[in-house]
Amino acid sequence: MQNHLGFQFYHPKETIIPDLTNYVLDTFTETITPRFDKIGFHIHAMHPLEITEALLNENTPNGTEEVKTYIDWLCRNGQNYFEFNLLRSIQLKTWIPYMKSIVDYAHQRGIICGADMSFHMIQQRAFQLYKKFPASFKTKEKQILQNIEQLMQINWDVWNVEFATTEFTHKDQDKLHEQQKFLYDNLSKYNVKLTSRKHVVKDENLISNTKSIKTKRTDMDSAYALFVHTVMFYGLLDTATPVYRNKDFSHLRNLLIESKEYRDTWYFPESAYWITFDNSVPMFLTPYLDARLQDILYCDSLGIDGHLTFTSGWEWNHWLIDWSIARWCWKEQQAEKVSDPLMYLKKVITDSNTINFVENASVLQQHYIKDKQLIKVLTAQTITDEIGGKLNLEFHPRPEYSYKYIMNKATKAELDFIQQKYVNVLDSFILQYSTLKLDYKMLTENDKLEKEILTSLLVTSLRAAHRKNTLSYLITYRLNKINRAKDSIQLYLKKAKDIRLSTLKLIEEQEKNSRYPTASIAAKRKVKRYIISDIYILFLICIFGNVKKNRQHTINGNSITIIFGMS
């Protein structure tokens, strides 16, 4: 239907349906084969994505149909695996019958269903198979057995279990083996496939003791499948991956090669990164497309068992990345050598001027944002960038000097370094993008998809212009202090403000064409929180970080809010 008739199942909510009134059926022969045994998507329901509420809250209006719509999209694009996070917010008694009907529907359509949960993870309200005192007075073993009995009223095929307390720590290896075996033995009668994941953090960079470092293989290693996770728009073969304290992903590449020899091994990359990297800015980063394509081809060459995409939703053109991944996971006889990251965009946008523009804009993004590492200043700051002490760790790409340091302490040489490496390069990117815009006349009035992609590319360039001005402000402010000068600096802030306000109008205009209500994915809402967990997190921050006087910590009723003054 997609290759020969012109149907395009590019978005769960939208399909291009061709006019076949005068179509004459032709005879053709075609062979397509899956590159992997299991192909699918992990909905990261720890974040407010389009169907998070429908997955976790049985009272969501039209929730069942929303999830079924997505399952249909998976089927139409040749996917056979579907997974999402369970959170502590679910009410098992009423949620289980609700979710059972959805999982049963997925099974009818040939979809394998997985539940992502934890033993006792304290991050992002992950569902816990046991709770500690005083949240529960029952033994760990009793709680785990009760949860198994309840959750398996839904006919799950896979349990993807996080055994560590956080993704930055590991358990004592003897304790880990004990817990893995206990869960394996008690789930065996349900014929559930068990798996866990390898996070992107290297073992030597974990905040753990020596007993947590793996030194030998156990029987549970082959019993559990392994999902090898990478983050953001970086690929397995990239020479520079400045994330989570890594120089590159060679440790994950080597793990894939080693692990596939003795257990079910899947590659688990991202099609967007929800927190501060792209979605919340927002930016549309086309280097994702090339990274995911190259990784798929590489994993296919290795004979990896599965490909599971960590998705962060579909608005803001992220549908293009997910759809392309889904299609690339199938090998078509006529397209043995796949090399065009925009090949599926060309299926839904036919205007050649627009395609040429997007191709050239993508080249600029790859060269400047990824290769020349402008991403280090285009991303938003994270909490760990501002906390001092042991928690001042680089998880997201960030510049060599903090913005606070540039403004108050940088030397002339350091300021010149920032000017040359970032401000001047930002200027080149902005200039070349602006020149590119002048060279093309594109039709956007009646084409929704065309308008969406052009708007998102423009917003990414405006993000660069905004950062150029804020960096220029910091540099000039510091130079004034060093030179005891009074050069004008307010102009930079005014330009930044004007850019931000104009960009907000573009985003608001784009939101009118969103397939899901904006309020469901980008609005403030009250969330009940467990005071024990939050006090524990606050305690860790106080112990390992440098909590400054201007940070506020307020307790209201049964919740605690930690407010950080972000740059």
Among 285, 312, 346, the domain boundary falls at: 346
Domain enclosing residue 428, as ranges: 352-521
Beta bridge partners of 87: 126
The whole-angstrom distance between residue 140's C-alpha and the CA centroid of its chain comes to 32
CA distances from 171 to 120, 123, 181 (A): 11, 15, 14
pLDDT at 193: 95
| Weakest-pLDDT range from 82-86, 355-359, 548-552 | 548-552
Which residues contact residue 311 at a Cβ distance below 8 angstroms, ignoring those fewer than 6 apart? 41, 42, 43, 44, 49, 270, 271, 272, 318, 322
Query: What is the phi/psi pair of residue 560, to 5°?
Result: -125, 135
User: Which pLDDT band holds residue 551 (cuts at 50, 70, 90)?
Assistant: very low
Query: Whole-angstrom Cα distance, residue 78 to residue 36?
Result: 11
Q: Is the pLDDT of residue 333 over 70?
A: no
Q: Which of 342, 240, 249, 245 is nearest to 288 (CA)?
A: 342
Q: Is the pLDDT of residue 553 over 50?
A: no
Among 346, 376, 396, the domain boundary falls at: 346
Q: Are residues 401 and 362 in the same domain?
A: yes
In a domain, 216, yes or no: yes
In a domain, 1, yes or no: no
pLDDT at 218: 85
| Weakest-pLDDT range from 102-106, 323-327, 516-520 | 516-520
Contact (Cβ atoms closer than 8 angstroms) between residue 184 and residue 220: yes
User: Which pLDDT band holds residue 562 (cuts at 50, 70, 90)?
Assistant: very low
Strands 559-563 and 552-556 come out as antiparallel
Q: Which of 296, 339, 344, 357 is nearest to 317 (CA)?
A: 344
For 263-293, write each residue's pLDDT tens digit: 999 999 999 987 788 877 789 999 999 999 9
pLDDT at 29: 84
Q: Are residues 136 and 96 in the same domain?
A: yes
Q: Is the pLDDT of residue 382 over 60?
A: yes
**Burial bucket for residue 66 (CB in 10 Å: 0-12, 13-18, 19+):** buried
Query: Whole-angstrom Cα distance, residue 271 to residue 311?
Result: 5
Which residues contact residue 136 at a Cβ distance below 8 angstroms, ignoring those fewer than 6 apart? 130, 143
Report the C-alpha dihedral over residues 374, 355, 339, 327, rounded to 10 degrees.
100
Only one residue has tokens 């397509």, namely: 32
Helix 448-483 vs helix 352-364: angle between axes, to the nearest 10 degrees? 30
Q: Is the pLDDT of residue 96 over 90?
A: yes
Q: Is the pLDDT of residue 546 over 80?
A: no
Strands 112-118 and 81-85 come out as parallel
Q: How many CB atoms lie within 10 A of CB 16?
A: 14
Report the C-alpha dihedral over residues 162, 164, 170, 173, rounded to 10 degrees.
-80
Q: Are residues 337 and 401 in the same domain?
A: no
For 463-489, write each residue's pLDDT tens digit: 999 999 999 999 999 999 999 988 889
Contact (Cβ atoms closer than 8 angstroms) between residue 262 and residue 222: yes
In our burial notation (b when 16+ CB lie closer than 10 A, e otherwise), range 379-403 reads bebbeebbbeeebeeebbbbbebbb
User: Which pLDDT band holds residue 544 (cuts at 50, 70, 90)?
Assistant: very low
Among 309, 329, 346, the domain boundary falls at: 346
User: Which pLDDT band holds residue 65 (cuts at 50, 70, 90)?
Assistant: very high
Q: Are residues 444 and 559 in the same domain?
A: no
pTM of the predicted model, to two decimals?
A: 0.89
Q: Are residues 18 and 167 in the same domain?
A: yes
Query: Whole-angstrom Cα distance, residue 114 to residue 122?
Result: 21
For 170-186, write each residue's pLDDT tens digit: 667 788 888 889 999 99
Token representation of residue 442: 């594109």
Q: Specify the CATH number for the domain of residue 60.
A: 3.20.20.80
Contact (Cβ atoms closer than 8 angstroms) between residue 65 and residue 101: no
Q: Are residues 466 and 554 in the same domain?
A: no
Q: Are residues 319 and 374 in the same domain?
A: no
* Average pLDDT over every residue of 15-21: 93
Q: Are residues 60 and 125 in the same domain?
A: yes
Contact (Cβ atoms closer than 8 angstroms) between residue 184 and residue 236: no
In a domain, 421, yes or no: yes
Q: Are residues 182 and 35 in the same domain?
A: yes
pLDDT at 444: 56
| Alpha helices (runs of H) in 203-317, residue ranges in sequence order | 219-223, 250-259, 287-302
Whether residue 242 has a cis bond before it, omega within 30° of 0: no
Which residues contact residue 182 at a Cβ distance below 8 angstroms, ignoring those fewer than 6 apart? 141, 144
Q: Are residues 89 and 237 in the same domain?
A: yes
In a domain, 526, yes or no: no
Q: Are residues 413 and 547 in the same domain?
A: no
Query: What is the phi/psi pair of residue 41, to 5°?
Result: -135, 140
Based on the structure, what is the number of domains in the chain? 3
Q: Are residues 455 and 356 in the same domain?
A: yes
For 482-502, write each residue's pLDDT tens digit: 999 888 899 999 999 999 999
Query: Whole-angstrom Cα distance, residue 321 to residue 350?
Result: 18
